[in-house]
Amino acid sequence: MPDLVFWILVVLATVTGLLTAWALGANSNSPPFAPAIGANAISTMRAAFLIGILAALGALTQGGSISETVGAGLVDGVAITSLAATAGLLTATMFMAFGVYTGYPVPAAFATTGAMVGVGLSLGGSPAFDTYQRILTFWALVPPISGGLAYLTATLLRRDDIPETVGVPLLAALVGGIVANVQLSIVPAPPGAEQSSLASYLARLVAEPVAAGTAGTAGADFALAGVDVFVTGLDLAVGVVTLLLAGASFLFIRRRTQASVDKGVKTFLVALGSVVAFSSGGSQVGLATGPLENLYSAELGLPGIVLLALGGVGILAGAWMGSPRLLQATSREYAQLGIRRSIAALVPGFVIAQLAIALGIPISFNNIIISGVIGGGLAGGSAGVSRRKIGITLLFWVLTLVTSVGIGFGLYQAFALLLGA
């Protein structure tokens, strides 16, 4: 392929990836702060600013695993070319645009995954059935898990015998404990590891001197004992650090709610929205950067952080430019849900997003949030969402996954025929 054509395709694929990241920043990252806006805890423009910053940071520090799955794990035996990446991203973007136009939430993860499977098969690759089984199982478990966690959360907040000065801080402790164990690329990692958590890093600072002192006493037996002490001490230290950070989160929100329940709840809504927006960036950026993985790493020889930074810039721009209008609309919906159901919908979103990132599975925040809203509504005796709406939404999800495979396959064939590739 002539160099000029190659670079034209590189630019086209990159621009398409940026546009996809922009759309994700404008749409998929908005729900986390909607409850806080609906409760008048933060202004729309300030929320949009924070969403952009936090989602971009999440993309940089947590986006690698899902990007790798989307770019290299969906089809075996072939590498995604720039032309194939363009075809896949265009297919996914068309589905997302259709969802915005019709008003039905088309999950970006379903559209992108299906599109990349389609273009990969069109390249002559073979299906990665093990990966499909793992992804589909996770997707199938999201609604019951998200709905179940939301139901339990809403039930906790609705109990008369558990005041909000206790229930809300307990949820803050749960979130704080999970945050302590989130794997981040910016935290110093041990040799041979790419990422580490804050709890693990702080635990190593405590456990390593203890193990070194034990191993340095004398003899091989003591050296082996030092290794055992290090492993046992590290696990214990991780647990202690996790409990300390969870306790600090509990005390902070506890004091805020004791001073004023309203201010305490609003503080928690902003904090919860922040960690969910961060997780959203980490889980969604791979949908835009994954198709470009082979192009940037193998063909251009660039480090992975460059691609993640590109996706982070797109998400940042989308959040700042496109999310304010959507935030105003979704905040009204969350205001109608009430604070308890809003919190109940977001807590599972954070937990499931971090689990998906750890497993490298692309997910849809629409899927998580909608399931959480329904589960939280059931705690009050009614889901607040019509069965017809749920049925049509599920149908759209299935159709998105199936048809995106076919369209991605056909679009790449059309591009290849047109360019003689």
- State the residue for tokens 């069109």: 122
* Cα–Cα distance, 28 to 176 (Å, whole number): 23
Q: Given this model, what pLDDT does residue 133 score?
A: 93
Q: Given this model, what pLDDT does residue 211 score?
A: 53
**How many Cα atoms within 13 Å fall on the side-chain side of residue 146?**
30
Domains in the chain: boundaries: 3-419
Question: 132: exposed, middle or buried (C-beta count within 10 Å: 0-12, 13-18, 19+)?
Answer: middle
Query: For the residues of 203-270, what is the DSSP string, one character each?
Result: HHHHHHHHHHHHHTSSHHHHHHHHHHHHHHHHHHHHHHHHHHHHHHHHHHHHHHHHH-HHHHHHHHHH
Q: Which two tokens stand for residue 318?
A: 């989308």
CA 317 vs CA 55, 311, 327, 332: distances in Å: 11, 10, 15, 24
- Residue pair 152/167 in contact by the 8 Å Cβ criterion: no
Using alpha carbons, select from 179, 150, 168, 345 the residue that is nearest to residue 250: 168
* Cα–Cα distance, 48 to 242 (Å, whole number): 30
Residue 161 phi, psi (nearest 5): -85, -5
Residue 44 phi, psi (nearest 5): -60, -45
**How many Cα atoms within 13 Å fall on the side-chain side of residue 92?**
36
CB-CB neighbours of 323 under 10 Å: 28
pLDDT by residue, tens only, the chain of 421 residues: 457 778 888 898 899 999 889 888 887 777 788 778 877 888 888 888 998 999 999 999 988 889 999 988 999 989 998 899 999 999 998 888 777 676 666 788 999 999 999 999 999 999 999 999 999 999 989 888 988 888 888 888 888 788 888 889 999 999 999 998 888 878 777 776 667 788 888 877 776 665 555 545 444 444 444 444 445 556 777 888 889 999 999 999 999 999 998 888 889 989 998 998 999 898 889 999 999 998 898 888 888 889 999 999 999 998 888 777 777 766 666 666 677 777 888 888 889 989 999 899 998 877 787 777 777 777 666 545 566 767 777 787 888 899 999 999 999 999 888 876 5
- Give Rg (Cα) of the chain: 23
Using alpha carbons, select from 312, 354, 361, 372 the residue that is nearest to residue 179: 354
- Residue pair 421/83 in contact by the 8 Å Cβ criterion: yes
* Cα–Cα distance, 188 to 126 (Å, whole number): 38
Query: For the residues of 42-56, what is the DSSP string, one character each?
Result: S-HHHHHHHHHHHHH
- Residue pair 132/229 in contact by the 8 Å Cβ criterion: no
- Alpha helix stretches (DSSP H) within 43-128: 44-62, 64-72, 82-102, 108-122
DSSP-derived letter for residue 291 is G
CA angle, 344 then 345 then 350, to 5°: 100
Q: Which two tokens stand for residue 38?
A: 């609906």
Using alpha carbons, select from 85, 114, 109, 103 the residue that is nearest to residue 18: 85
Q: Which two tokens stand for residue 69?
A: 């799955």
Q: Given this model, what pLDDT does residue 337 score?
A: 66
* Cα–Cα distance, 272 to 400 (Å, whole number): 30
